[in-house]
Structure 1
Amino acid sequence: MNIPEGKKIYFASDNHLGAPTQDASRPREKRFVAWLDEVKHDAAAIFLLGDLFDFWMEYKKVVPKGFTRTLGKLAEISDSGIPIYYFVGNHDLWMNGYFEEELNIPVYHKPKEFTFNNKSFFIGHGDGLGPGDKGYKRMKKVFTNPICKWLFQRLLHPDFGMRIGHYMSVKNKLISGDEDAKFLGEDNEWLVQYCKRKLESKHRDFFVFGHRHLPLNIDLNEQSKYINLGDWISYYTYGVFDGQNMEIKEY
């Protein structure tokens, strides 16, 4: 993608709408919608890197109640011709067609490469990547197993299933992945180690992830950077690429 002059690409992650309750998260939702309304004027594209919701599971005919302001604004922006890309996080692993069919937003379940103005990007949510985090990696295999998912949806009424899922998302730190929401040093940051290992086989200019709930901008070498977008709970930070440089800003 070549970015038109005066346009930018925007990135955001980890809103966790609905946590700890929908009423409590509504001011954060309104702030995020105001940001979307602002950036749409010069956005060439918008990337949402997961955990927009604190829990999201799609049944065949049922999606979670609420989040009307966010979904409506995403629909408006998508309908205007601005592409939006969504990467699932560890709280919304169970997306299954609704965003694609209703909002015309492609959904990715794994990191993906993009090129903007000859700058290479490797983009994803970030959960389960790199060394360590073995407990979550085992749990993720269960969560994404088609049989386990089918049993959960078939045996539990959506009202009950959503209640269990939301409770676990709020209470279970293994699912949340934010029990260490402080910088651990490059040698102990799994995503930093993951990015450095990826660079051994291929150059990328920018690695952009969420998940850590920390705004980070780290030089991996003289040409490559690791960007973590932070969150919309404590930091209200986002990434913006102007065609040449990538920055983290606060809204």
Structure 2
Amino acid sequence: MINNISADHKVYFLSDFHLGAPNADASLIREKKLVLFLDSIKNNAAGIFIVGDIFDFWFEYKKSVPKGYTRLLGKLAELSDAGIPIIVFTGNHDMWMSGYFESEMNITVYHEPKTFVWNNKKVLIGHGDGLGPGDQGYKFLKKVFTNPICKWLFSILHPDWGIGLANYFSRKSKEKTGLSDDHFLGADNEWLIVYSKEVLEKEHFDFFIFGHRHYPIDFPLTNNSRYINLGDWIKNFTYAEFDGTNIQLKKFES
């Protein structure tokens, strides 16, 4: 549980590591950089939010999980054991979390956006996939992927087949996306900005924090509400920092 933030502590937000992609060697470099970052904030972190797509693919079988990622998982366990609250939101690449993080590392996992209030600041946090207008194809696929029967059918595949198949489709998805995440698309075309504005018509939030987009954005929605996209840890190595009053988007330089 994260309570009000004291002057000497901060809440940190980061997302979209996609560990495992595009290959083991490149992924390991990013994983080591993530561990360095987490180590650098451990003395003043009031909480750490990882807002989706930690892995390029993750599926928790009944008796096994994908191998690898030992350095990151070990560091998260160390920080959690030290009493730092860690909250994970599932993304579109790792939506099949089902208890491993909770039982092994005492990490809270959310599958949908959630509201938090600290120091009288109201914050909506989520990965961001499937929100806002358009993308009906993905929204349909998400319902299929999260359907209990479909999850069970996938789980009976041998992990070598299941993970191999998932990695293949992940690569094809990236080829189709291309460079669309390399620049700001404009407020009318950034679907998470559109979504945030729609939410604001019904309920006030001081900050909206999302991942998924892979492009760091700090956009004023109104005079007292902002949309922040966390970028990624593939090209940008960006994160957000909340000091109890304000949220700043920063870049980790190691």
Structure 1 equivalent of residue 89 of structure 2: 87
Structure 2 equivalent of residue 56 of structure 1: 58
Give secondary structure in 2 for the equivalent of 1:71: helix
Structure 1 equivalent of residue 131 of structure 2: 129
Structure 2 equivalent of residue 187 of structure 1: 188
Superposition pairs of residues 24-39 of structure 1, within 5 angstroms? 24-39=26-41
Return the letter of the residue paired with 1:222.
N
Give secondary structure in 2 for the equivalent of 1:85: strand
Question: Aligned to 2:45, which of 43, 49, 59?
Answer: 43
Matches of 2:193 and 2:179, distance apart in 1? 18
Matches of 2:159 and 2:76, distance apart in 1? 25
Structure 2 equivalent of residue 4 of structure 1: 6
**1:20-50 C-alpha deviation (Å, 9 max, x unpaired):** 1122211111001100000111100000000
Return the letter of the residue paired with 1:80.
A
Superposition pairs of residues 144-155 of structure 1, within 5 angstroms? 144-154=146-156
Give secondary structure in 2 for the equivalent of 1:60: coil
What is the percent sequence identity of the aligned residues? 61
Structure 2 equivalent of residue 109 of structure 1: 111
**In the TM superposition, what is the alpha-carbon distance from 1:5 to its structure 2 partner?**
2.3
**Cα RMSD after superposing both structures:** 1.3
Matches of 1:178 and 1:195, distance apart in 2? 25
Structure 2 equivalent of residue 246 of structure 1: 247
**In the TM superposition, what is the alpha-carbon distance from 1:179 to its structure 2 partner?**
5.5
**1:129-162 C-alpha deviation (Å, 9 max, x unpaired):** 00011111111111111111111112x1111111
Give secondary structure in 1 for the equivalent of 2:167: helix
Report if the CA contact (8 A) 1:177-1:211 is conserved.
no
Matches of 1:152 and 1:247, distance apart in 2? 40
Give secondary structure in 2 for the equivalent of 1:141: helix
Give secondary structure in 2 for the equivalent of 1:147: helix
Superposition pairs of residues 188-203 of structure 1, within 5 angstroms? 188-203=189-204
Q: TM-score, normalised by structure 2?
A: 0.95
**In the TM superposition, what is the alpha-carbon distance from 1:177 to its structure 2 partner?**
6.5
Structure 2 equivalent of residue 209 of structure 1: 210
Task: Find runs of 4+ consecutive structure 1 residues off by over 3 angstroms.
Answer: 176-179
Give secondary structure in 2 for the equivalent of 1:220: strand
Return the letter of the residue paired with 1:52.
I
**In the TM superposition, what is the alpha-carbon distance from 1:167 to its structure 2 partner?**
1.7
Structure 2 equivalent of residue 74 of structure 1: 76
Structure 2 gap ranges (5+)? none
> Would you say 1:160 and 2:166 are equivalent positions?
no
Return the letter of the residue paired with 1:2.
N
**In the TM superposition, what is the alpha-carbon distance from 1:178 to its structure 2 partner?**
7.0
Report if the CA contact (8 A) 1:54-1:170 is conserved.
no
Return the letter of the residue paired with 1:236.
F
